[in-house]
Structure 1
Amino acid sequence: MSGRPGSVHGPVPVATAALPAVPAGFTGREEDLARLLPVLDPAAESDLPVVICAVSGLGGIGKTSLALCAAHRAVRAGWFPGGTLFVDFRGYDDDPVTAEQALLALLDGLGVRGDQLPRTPSAQYALYRRLLAEERRSMLLVFDNASDPAQLTPLVPGTDHHRVLITSRDRLTELDARLLRLDVLKPQEAADLIERSLRLSDEADDRAAVEPEAVGELALLCGHHPLALRIAAGMLRKRWYRSVASLVAELRRAEDRTQALGVRPVFDVAYGQLPPAQARLLRLLSVAPTPEVGTEVAVALAGRAEEETLTLLEGLASAHLVTPVRAGGDVRWRLHDLVRAFGAGVAAEDAELREERERARERLLACYRRWADAADDRLRWLPGLPEPERFADRAQALAWLDGERAGLVAAVHWAGEQRYARGAVALAECLGVYLRWRRYFDDAITVAGLAQEAAHQARDTHAEAAAWNNLGLARRRADQAEEAVEALTRARDLCRSTRDRQGEADAWNNLGNALHDLGRAEDAIDAHTRARDLYRAVKDRHGEADAWNNLGNALDGAGRTEDAIDAHTRARDLYREVGDRHGEGTAWANLGGCLEETGRTDEAIEAFGKDLEICHAFEDWYGAGQTLVNLALVHARTHRPAEARTYYLDAADAYARAAAPAEAAAARSFADALT
């Protein structure tokens, strides 16, 4: 961060030879100390011409506490017989210390006073450097709370046997220094800080031990931020008669948590020093539905070109107001919870800023809708259909959806606000196939439920029918068959009311599956037959293939295995005709089950093998697990236990890759039973 022209500088600071004490209650940071102390060791080799370590991080994150702890340990170890000098540069006050002011303080600390002090700054610098060069015993210079390399550069010793330890809210990349970025505390360290602070005040205060869950929640509300945690502990000490849970409830109700915790002044200072474009982006990042966003989302929020947005993000990262996070070959940008709360609080205080925030939400929702729609098109794509925008294959579409899932799902919650309802409902419809494919059934139920409520409020019958259909599909996959039947019946009736024959066919087909799950085979057969006939009427060959496949399952459930074989064969051929290989694999799997029931074992094994090959091609690991279990069962029934065990173990591996631990454990158990 550059200096502030025209600022008025305060009095000359004091360079203390005795280090300030480490704040009471300091805890954790052992990993950070393990990184810092080896750099300070004068006996350690370094490629740096002068060994400087700059600790940077968000305001109140504990930089000074860490530096002082490391310095005290180093002094106790006898590393700095030449002594220490500590200067507070007040870098983020209205009157930051200049290099020349600090120089006077350092010379005073070195014993240069009165008539010994040269008159001109150049002579003073020369004396300072000579004294450090002549002092052969190692010294440690602690330059605390600096904001500008110009404060520091003239004061760096010209010899490599001294050490310089700097703290700053900014990442001082202009210095040739070892840079150490300080993050928030780990959850257990944060809880320990609260408990230790309470015990230091009153050794009989056992609230942290009695309410460990509330302490964990309090630490989370504080963002594991040391200053916020210390203030929260102070509030508890002041209210010694109240529970930790009561403070948690109070903070949850607060409109601005940074204000409630008393840390807002720290963020006010950092925010006030930002250039206007960076300050605007910080406010808009707080609009994002998740604390971490990709560059694409930041660009949408900013409403600026990508290159310009990246420059602004890098400036905020240098000030530790956002944190860049590597994600594969990309970078994502994380906003600390308290910074996010602060940005939202600033935007809420002014009508113009509130409207700026709402326009940013509209841009983000439009961005999400565009790319989620393109990704959904790719997942549904069949030969002959138009090529979807952006995503060349399923893998690319799935990778984008995986990376943005949290934000996409959270954005659907905006459906409850009239201004965003239509866009959020459309976004929800784009996510149904993906969430079911990845087996995120809880998310699928939430998303579809939000869309259904918003569409109903807007009297958008078509969108509501689609939402009920997606809700039914999600509930069925989550083993909630009764609720699925109810949702899919609603979808069917709404489609009938608008004479949407395509939608009605989809609803009948999905309803048949839910009825089959409930053991209502004849009702399922009727539903799938109706779906098949409707698909034929609207000339939807792919839908007809789905109906035949599901009809085969219902016929098999009713004991009509030969009819089921015919239905699955028809489905397989139709899937081939329309180019749906994954659908073809499903038909092969169902056909294999029916063939095995009729004693046609070799044909069944061949059918399962066809499906397994397709599952691997699509990286459908859950489907692969199911088919491998079927192969294991066939081999076990034909008295080939070794082959059956191998298939069970392969099934366990496939289920593990599909994040299905219960199914993986069951497959391993069956394998163990065959040893």
Structure 2
Amino acid sequence: MATAALPAVPAGFTGRDEDLARLFPVLDPAAESDLPVVICAVSGLGGIGKTSLALCAAHRAVRDGWFPGGTLFVDFRGYDEDPVTADQAVVALLDGMGVRGADLPQTTAGQYGLYRRLLAEESRSMLLLLDNASDPGQVMPLVPGTDHHRVLVTSRDRLTELDAQLIDLDVLNAEDATDLISRSLRLSDRSDDRATREPEAVSELVTLCGHHPLALRVTAGMLRKRRHRSVASLVNDLRGAEDWTAAVGLRPIFEAAYQQLPPEQARLLRLLALAPAAEVGSETAAAMTDLGVDQTFDLLEELAAAHLVTPVPGGADVRWRLHDLVRAFGVGVVKVDAELWGEGATARERVLEFYHRWAKAADSWLRWLPGMPAPERFPDRAAALAWLDSERAGLVAAVQWAREERYADTAIRLSQRLAEYLDWRRSFDDKITVCGAAREAAHRAGNQVGEAIAWNSLGIALQETSRAEEAIDAHTRARDLHQMIGDHHREAAALSNLGNALRETGRVEEAIDAHTRARDLFQAVGDRPSEATAWDNLGLALRETGRTGEAINAHTRARDLHQAVGDRHGEARAWNNLGGVLWEAGRVDEAVEACEKALEGLREFEDWYGTGRTLYNLAFAHQHAAHPAEARTCYLQSADAYTRANAPTEAADAQSRADSLT
């Protein structure tokens, strides 16, 4: 149980340089501290490598002569069925200090008294490594009463009751995880170069293990037994395993931790495993539990103290991340119990409704114009965007639940609330995923309106990803469905988008016809903001046919309509398009003025893609007006804006043009 000699550091230990750098200043007996005794408590998920780290740090400290008084090591077996108590540990510690037989006091009080006296009389610094403690009560009675000794504790729980420096240990980074596999193989057989020959398979294996050290060691052991088989073959076998946590040897650890949780914490862990994303906000977690945010937050903090979830600070709402292996374990618990599966399905319905309510409010802010009632829940547009950004992974994943009939209706409605946002952030791959799932679900359910809306949104994303022919098909399907239903307003929207796709493929006359019909339909239903957009799109098509005067008139009409309804962002887009056609007409000064007005509105709305495009047009105008310095500045600013808009191709083009002007 206790020994004066430190156990060896496990073979293959690697990485943890940053964690060791945090440990050493606390262990150094020469370091000053305002605590009565310097204690460091390393905590983390079971199998994360706490003991290995502590032993590595302890051995290096002893090697450097920090603890001439010696070391004492106790394994408290804190998470076994019969953990070591402090009373048992003090006897073992005394034994490690040479007190045994007749010299050992017969009473517990006498034993503690002798233990503390020996430590106080030992003038040379000692290190006490108290490993695998599950409760502060195991450790507190053993803390020396003098400040020249050091205590290093490891635990799966954050021992916040201790006056100690707390160090949370996370999984390895990708490089160190890969190195662990490689070192483990070469320790067994120096000629085993599979890690070098199969870097992609090793990377997949590391990902499957969630960078968890124990899982990596177990899989490395599997590879050593399969000496003449590839790493890829093990990856394939693990991918086919029903329970990854069992396959990589972690299920017993997770099972023990789960069994020790109070009922409400265990329920929350199960529900988090079924959440749409591995990381959720506190309010999303509260929606799953159907408890208040404060109560859910308290439960989340308890799970974080047990290292079953990880808090991710940032913004107004703390987010919580579930490790992939813990998530897999939680799903496994739920799958084998019909009652727990039903509990999880109900929680998913709640989180979908929560997402839809909040996404609806956020979407309303993105479409809000002066004179409209202020949408609920968010104070302004920026807050709405911030929430959508923070929850994007969960929102996109939740829409994919539409493939299950139980969730289909709400997930379809949620997809419609995400379309504008995903366009705004230019997250077109996510939009294709969202719209594809919604379209399939709506078609199965016979929901023609939902299907048509999904086709139309899908077409926009397809065009933006250079799949214009597919976009034409999608918008045509949307138009035909809306026409059949008799929804002329949405028919007009599909026609407007169809016109853009047709123009992209060179079918400009058809595009002009589509935009003209869209404009007329929007006029008929009285939708002035959409009419303005139709005018703007029509101007772009007219410009491509050389009908410059008509294009200038169309963009001017679009600008004036956007101004009339207070749509400053739409007005800025119209100014940009007007600037382009004015330049073609030789009206350079007016073109520059139009672009500058466009920039005002685009920057106000943080439309960085539009800003990059306008600056590019402005740079082009300056370049042809023989103003190279102004052109280069605009190209550089355009590259910066495109970078902020996550448009690397456009950014590289603008940077290249700037470089050509040096």
TM above 0.5: yes
> Is residue 2:15 matched to residue 1:28?
yes
Distance 2:659 2:176 in 1: 42
DSSP 3-state at the match of 1:333: strand
Deviation string for 1:205-232 (max 9, x for gaps)? 2211111111111111111111111111
Matched AA of 1:456: H
Q: Which residue of 1 aligns with 2:561?
A: 574
Q: Which residue among 365, 368, 379 is the counterpart of 1:378? A: 365
Deviation at 1:583, TM superposition (A): 0.8
Q: Which residue of 1 aligns with 2:86?
A: 99
Deviation at 1:492, TM superposition (A): 0.3
Matched AA of 1:487: A
Q: Which residue among 360, 385, 398 is the counterpart of 1:398? A: 385
Deviation at 1:353, TM superposition (A): 0.4
Q: Which residue of 2 aligns with 1:309?
A: 296
DSSP 3-state at the match of 2:129: strand
Distance 1:294 1:402 in 2: 12
DSSP 3-state at the match of 1:313: helix
Distance 2:223 2:656 in 1: 51
Matched AA of 1:509: S
Q: Which residue of 1 aligns with 2:350?
A: 363
Q: Which residue among 510, 520, 541 is the counterpart of 1:554? A: 541
Matched AA of 2:180: L
Distance 1:318 1:51 in 2: 21
Distance 1:223 1:152 in 2: 31
Distance 1:541 1:650 in 2: 33
Deviation at 1:387, TM superposition (A): 2.0
Distance 1:34 1:583 in 2: 54
Q: Which residue among 490, 508, 529 is the counterpart of 1:542? A: 529
Matched AA of 1:210: R
Matching of residues 167-316 of structure 1 within 5 Å:
167-316=154-303
Matched AA of 1:217: E
- What TM-score does the superposition give when structure 1 sets the normalisation length? 0.97
Distance 1:284 1:110 in 2: 49
Distance 1:36 1:541 in 2: 65
Deviation string for 1:586-644 (max 9, x for gaps)? 11111111211122222111111111110111111111111111111112222222222
Distance 1:219 1:651 in 2: 39
Distance 1:674 1:193 in 2: 50
Q: Which residue among 642, 645, 654 is the counterpart of 2:641? A: 654
Q: Which residue among 438, 441, 451 is the counterpart of 1:464? A: 451
Deviation at 1:119, TM superposition (A): 2.0
> Is residue 2:477 matched to residue 1:490?
yes
DSSP 3-state at the match of 1:166: strand
Matched AA of 1:167: T
Distance 2:479 2:115 in 1: 85
DSSP 3-state at the match of 2:180: helix
Which deviates further from its counterpart, 457-466 or 187-196?
Answer: 187-196
Matched AA of 1:395: A
Q: Give me the identity figure in percent.
A: 69
Deviation string for 1:131-163 (max 9, x for gaps)? 111111111111111011111111100011111
Matching of residues 496-511 of structure 1 within 5 Å:
496-511=483-498
Deviation at 1:342, TM superposition (A): 0.7
Distance 2:24 2:119 in 1: 22
Matched AA of 1:32: D
Q: Which residue of 2 aligns with 1:670?
A: 657
Q: Which residue of 2 aligns with 1:336?
A: 323
Deviation at 1:38, TM superposition (A): 2.0
Distance 2:507 2:190 in 1: 66
Structure 2: which 5+ residue stretches go unaligned? none
Q: Which residue of 2 aligns with 1:145?
A: 132
Structure 1 stretches of 4+ with a deviation exceeding 6 A read: none
Q: Give me the CA root mean square deviation.
A: 1.1
Matched AA of 2:261: L
Q: Which residue of 2 aligns with 1:157?
A: 144
Matched AA of 2:462: R
- What TM-score does the superposition give when structure 2 sets the normalisation length? 0.98
Distance 2:60 2:301 in 1: 34
Q: Which residue of 1 aligns with 2:69?
A: 82
> Is residue 2:477 matched to residue 1:516?
no
Deviation at 1:484, TM superposition (A): 0.8
DSSP 3-state at the match of 1:179: strand
Deviation string for 1:638-673 (max 9, x for gaps)? 222222222112212222222222222221221222
Matched AA of 1:264: R
Distance 2:191 2:643 in 1: 48
Q: Which residue among 62, 73, 78 is the counterpart of 2:49? A: 62
Matched AA of 1:304: L
Q: Which residue of 2 aligns with 1:602?
A: 589
Structure 1: which 5+ residue stretches go unaligned? 1-13
Deviation string for 1:57-85 (max 9, x for gaps)? 00000111111111111111111111111
Deviation string for 1:34-53 (max 9, x for gaps)? 11122111112122210111
Deviation string for 1:267-308 (max 9, x for gaps)? 111111111110110001001121111111111111111111
Q: Which residue of 2 aligns with 1:476?
A: 463
Distance 1:357 1:253 in 2: 24
Deviation at 1:392, TM superposition (A): 2.5
DSSP 3-state at the match of 1:245: helix
Distance 1:157 1:672 in 2: 67
